[in-house]
């Protein structure tokens, strides 16, 4: 398979990804990481996590609270 992994975005997988990046992550990198999910679904999930105060967006980067 050439080492290509398809990753689905879930609440826990997004939080785990952001936990590994203290410097924050841009939307592009998050969408690229979760290549097994539609971009609209990932964006919706990020919005839900923001509303629940689990993550926040600042300077176009997403951060873990």
Q: What is the pLDDT of residues 16-38, one digit of tens each?
A: 999 999 999 999 999 999 999 99
CATH code where residue 20 lies: 1.10.10.10
DSSP secondary-structure letter at 54? S
Torsion, CA 33, CA 36, CA 37, CA 39, rounded to 10: 50
Number of domains the chain contains:
1
In a domain, 1, yes or no: no
In a domain, 45, yes or no: yes
CA triplet 59, 32, 38: central angle to 5 degrees? Answer: 105
In a domain, 21, yes or no: yes
Q: In what order do the strands lie in the sheet with 25-26?
A: 25-26, 61-64, 55-58
Q: What is the pLDDT of residues 35-62, one digit of tens each?
A: 999 999 999 999 999 999 999 999 999 9
For residue 57, the enclosing domain spans 11-64
């Amino acid at each position: 398979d050439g080492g290509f992994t398809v990753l689905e975005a879930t609440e826990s997988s997004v939080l785990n990804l952001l936990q590994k990046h203290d410097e924050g992550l841009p939307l592009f990198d998050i969408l690229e990481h979760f290549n097994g999910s539609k971009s609209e679904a990932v964006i919706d999930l990020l919005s839900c996590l923001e509303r629940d105060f689990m993550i926040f967006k600042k300077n176009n980067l997403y951060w873990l609270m």
